[in-house]
């Protein structure tokens, strides 16, 4: 005769398959054929989703947001179009993985856009332009550069006769103005300044050289 038997070990119930038989003396004995495990498994989750990270998706859209997203699904700007497509798919209960596979975008990009939309709404469709690199010299320093350009180098106790972009930049740095030769070039171009350049002189043993030069 085979039957299931429940035993209690350290306060927990365990189930096993047992076979009953009689020994040579006629006494009833039990032999465990197979252990079936605990009646109530350890760490059994009542909720299969317990402990999992909640699914990331867009919040409920208001009427203005729904209209905007619908109207811009084919916007000529890829910046706006990509975002509206992500919001639309997420609003249709698509997972991050499904959106990534359908649109070919990386997961971090999708997650970032959804999170930003949930916080800022339609503000995420306004591209933020960088103000650019701040000017390294102020108006007073720029005026000094122009003053140097209009001053003969010898009067500033410099051992050359003509200015160049590099020489101006080097002298300005000595005076505490952080400027590059390219910035000097832009200042000259903006103010349409013409400064005297050093003329190279060539020499030759050819007796006709002077005539050819003219």
pLDDT class for 64, splitting at 50, 70, 90? Answer: very high
3-state secondary structure of 189: helix
d(CA 45, CA 68): 43
Bridge partner list, 17: 4, 34
Q: Are 96 and 107 in contact (CB under 8 A)?
A: yes
The domain segmentation of the chain, as residue ranges, is: 2-38, 63-125, 139-190
pLDDT class for 207, splitting at 50, 70, 90? Answer: low
Bridge partner list, 13: 8
* The pLDDT value given to residue 7: 79
* The pLDDT value given to residue 72: 94
Burial grade of 92 (CB within 10 A; 0-12, 13-18, 19 or more)? exposed
Average pLDDT of the residues in 122-144: 78
* The pLDDT value given to residue 132: 60
What percent of the chain clears pLDDT 70, i.e. is strictly above it?
80
Query: Running DSSP on this structure, what letter comes out for residue 15?
Result: E
Token digits for 4?
């299931």
d(CA 142, CA 137): 7
Closest CA to 90 of 119, 69, 75: 69
* The pLDDT value given to residue 195: 55
Using CA atoms of 116, 117, 121, 124 in order, give the dihedral in degrees to the nearest 10.
60
> How is 20-89 classified by DSSP, letter by letter?
EEE-TTS-EEEEEEEEEEESS-TT--SSTTTTSPPPP------HHHHHHHHHTTT-S-HHHHHHHHHHHH
Average pLDDT of the residues in 10-20: 79
* The pLDDT value given to residue 124: 93
Q: What would the pLDDT profile of 151-194 be if each residue is shown by its tens digit? A: 888 888 888 888 888 998 899 888 888 888 888 888 888 876 65
Token digits for 123?
């503000």
pLDDT class for 38, splitting at 50, 70, 90? Answer: confident
Residue 213 confidence (pLDDT) above 50: no
Q: What is the mean pLDDT of the chain?
A: 81
pLDDT class for 135, splitting at 50, 70, 90? Answer: low
Residue 88 confidence (pLDDT) above 90: yes
């Amino acid at each position: 005769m085979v039957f299931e038997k429940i035993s209690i070990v350290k306060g927990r119930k365990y189930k096993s398959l047992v076979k009953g038989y009689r020994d040579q003396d006629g006494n009833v004995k039990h032999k465990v054929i197979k252990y079936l495990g605990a009646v109530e498994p350890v760490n059994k989750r009542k909720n299969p989703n317990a402990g999992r990270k909640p699914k990331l998706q867009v919040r409920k859209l208001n009427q203005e947001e729904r209209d905007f997203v619908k109207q811009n699904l084919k916007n000529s700007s890829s910046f706006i179009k990509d975002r509206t497509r992500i919001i639309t798919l997420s609003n249709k209960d698509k997972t991050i993985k499904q959106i990534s596979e359908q649109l070919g975008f990386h997961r971090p990009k999708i997650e970032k856009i959804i999170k930003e939309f949930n916080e800022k709404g339609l503000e995420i469709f306004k591209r933020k332009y960088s103000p650019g690199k701040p000017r390294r010299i102020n108006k007073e320093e720029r005026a000094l550069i122009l003053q140097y350009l209009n001053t003969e180098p010898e009067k500033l106790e410099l051992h050359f006769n003509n200015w160049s972009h590099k020489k101006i930049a080097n002298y300005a740095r000595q005076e505490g103005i952080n400027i590059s030769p390219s910035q000097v070039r832009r200042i000259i171009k903006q103010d349409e300044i013409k400064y005297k350049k050093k003329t190279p002189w060539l020499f030759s043993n050819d007796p006709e050289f002077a005539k050819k030069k003219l």
